[in-house]
Amino acid sequence: MRDKNSPKAFSSPLIPAANVLISPNQMGRSPLTSIENTLKEEVVGQDQAITAIVQALVRAATGFRNKDKPIATLFFSGPSGVGKTEAARALTKAIHHNPKAWLKIDCSEFGEPHTVSRLIGSPPGYVGSDLPALLDKEEVEARKWNVVLFDEIEKAHHSLHNLLLQVMDEGTVTITRRRAQEEARVDFTSTIVILTSNVGSRAVSRLLEEQQIGFKNGGKEDMQQVDQQIFSAVRREMEKTFSPEFRNRISDFVVFQPLGEKNLFLVLEKILKQSYERFAEKGFAVNLTPKMKRFLVHEENNPEMGARPLLNRVERHIDGKIAELYALGEIKVGDYIVVDLDERGEVIFRRAERVSITVQTDFSTLGKGNKNPFEDPPLV
């Protein structure tokens, strides 16, 4: 256990000098600004949620908190595939400059009552006592301001909720370690606990259907009213799903909004950028025509799933096919491949003359002047 009286107890990646409390105004120009910027770069269309996250951090960093509890317990709610897990990852990256410096617990793996004991270990003589507790003391306490993510908590058995109550309430959990067959206290008081949940997402999509905004964004006032209704719908569903003692222990509720069409295009660019980088490593380049991008965003539009179907479509139509062509020797080092849709709506791949490649970020040109300068016959 660390000594709470030592000067280091206050030090955090957000506060450079030990024991120095900074006013929120100073914070505005401090690393918190860069955290906010990183979050906005990585997570699109969720500015309200990001503001709420940063506010929670400002409060925690200024030292007005109970030192026997986690630094903050943030509850991310909203529909599936709109950036909740992504925001937790981005926050980790922003604080620790490494998106993998977190502990992520996938709660869907703990749906059965007996699985929860895998997390905290079983006492000697019990089934599973030879297995290590998955909630590893060293991993939780690895760094100050460690992000510990309990992802999709509504999928866990309710005994995991009791464990979370302990985390939030006492800031510590007792586990049984296999090696020494001894008990250990896992200290959460230097962690940011993030819980994510899709609770209320059905109510939100019903609401969107009723409002008939769905994919099309309404006027600003309409949207504000809808935002408010979304917030209340999530709140109502939360009240049905989680007990008052559970809800009362959460320090900040962060509601993620459904992604509109414009934001889906932005998410698509982010997903494609990663694919482009992988192709560039193999020595060739790929670009998509605006028509192809529109196809990826609109094919089987299902706002309930957020951006997740986009990932699948990019995998199916782009990554998978390109890998196949590469394996067949159809794509070679130095090639520039353009992916387009033909008149019949079939996806086609053309080898084009190498031209300077830019990743399109200006969506005002989408759909305009979509001329295809590449006359070569399609590869497939």
Ligand X SMILES: Nc1ncnc2c1ncn2[C@@H]1O[C@H](COP(=O)(O)OP(=O)(O)O)[C@@H](O)[C@H]1O
Residues near ligand X (CB under 6 A) = 43-46, 80-86, 196, 259, 267, 270-271, 306-308, 311
Three-state DSSP class for residue 218: coil
CA-to-CA distance for 82 and 196, rounded, in angstroms? 12
15 binds, among ligand X, Mg ion, none (CB under 5 to 8 A by kind): none
Q: Rank residues 257 and 287 by Cβ distance to ligand X and give the closer one.
A: 257
| Phi, psi of 83, rounded to the nearest 5 degrees | 115, 15
Q: Rank residues 107 and 163 by Cβ distance to ligand X and give the closer one.
A: 107
- Considering the complex, what minimum distance in angstroms separates the CB of residue 41 from Mg ion? 19
Q: Rank residues 61 and 74 by Cβ distance to ligand X and give the closer one.
A: 74
Q: Is the Cα torsion angle 156, 157, 160, 164 positive or negative in sign?
A: positive
45 binds, among ligand X, Mg ion, none (CB under 5 to 8 A by kind): ligand X
CA-to-CA distance for 380 and 349, rounded, in angstroms? 6
CA-to-CA distance for 149 and 277, rounded, in angstroms? 28
Q: Rank residues 46 and 189 by Cβ distance to ligand X and give the closer one.
A: 46
CA-to-CA distance for 148 and 140, rounded, in angstroms? 7
81 binds, among ligand X, Mg ion, none (CB under 5 to 8 A by kind): ligand X
CA-to-CA distance for 293 and 264, rounded, in angstroms? 10
Q: How many CB atoms lie within 10 A of CB 25?
A: 8
- Considering the complex, what minimum distance in angstroms separates the CB of residue 363 from ligand X? 15
Residue 166 in contact with Mg ion, rule: CB under 5 A: no
Three-state DSSP class for residue 349: strand
- Interface region with Mg ion, contact rule CB under 5 A, candidates 50-58, 76-84, 264-272, 283-291: 76-84
Residue 155 in contact with Mg ion, rule: CB under 5 A: no
44 binds, among ligand X, Mg ion, none (CB under 5 to 8 A by kind): ligand X
Name residue 270's beta-bridge partners: none
Residue 115 in contact with Mg ion, rule: CB under 5 A: no
Q: Rank residues 110 and 336 by Cβ distance to Mg ion and give the closer one.
A: 110
Q: Which two tokens stand for residue 52?
A: 């709420």
Give the residue, chosen from 55, 85, 122, 211, that forms a contact with Mg ion under the rule CB under 5 A: 85
Q: Which residue has the tokens 């999509």?
A: 205
Do residues 151 and 106 touch, judged by C-beta distance below 8 A?
yes
Max intra-chain CA distance, the chain: 72
CA-to-CA distance for 190 and 169, rounded, in angstroms? 14
- Considering the complex, what minimum distance in angstroms separates the CB of residue 85 from Mg ion? 3
CA-to-CA distance for 121 and 104, rounded, in angstroms? 17
- Considering the complex, what minimum distance in angstroms separates the CB of residue 196 from ligand X? 6
Q: Rank residues 282 and 308 by Cβ distance to ligand X and give the closer one.
A: 308
CA-to-CA distance for 169 and 266, rounded, in angstroms? 39
Residue 275 in contact with Mg ion, rule: CB under 5 A: no
83 binds, among Mg ion, ligand X, none (CB under 5 to 8 A by kind): ligand X
Q: Rank residues 65 and 104 by Cβ distance to ligand X and give the closer one.
A: 104
CA-to-CA distance for 166 and 139, rounded, in angstroms? 18
- Considering the complex, what minimum distance in angstroms separates the CB of residue 34 from ligand X? 18
- Considering the complex, what minimum distance in angstroms separates the CB of residue 329 from ligand X? 31
30 binds, among Mg ion, ligand X, none (CB under 5 to 8 A by kind): none
Residue 105 in contact with Mg ion, rule: CB under 5 A: no
Q: Which residue is nearest to ligand X (CB)?
A: 83
Name 271's Cβ contacts closer than 8 Å, sequence gap at least 6.
Answer: 307, 310, 311, 314
271 binds, among Mg ion, ligand X, none (CB under 5 to 8 A by kind): ligand X
Contact residues for Mg ion (CB under 5 A)?
Answer: 84-85
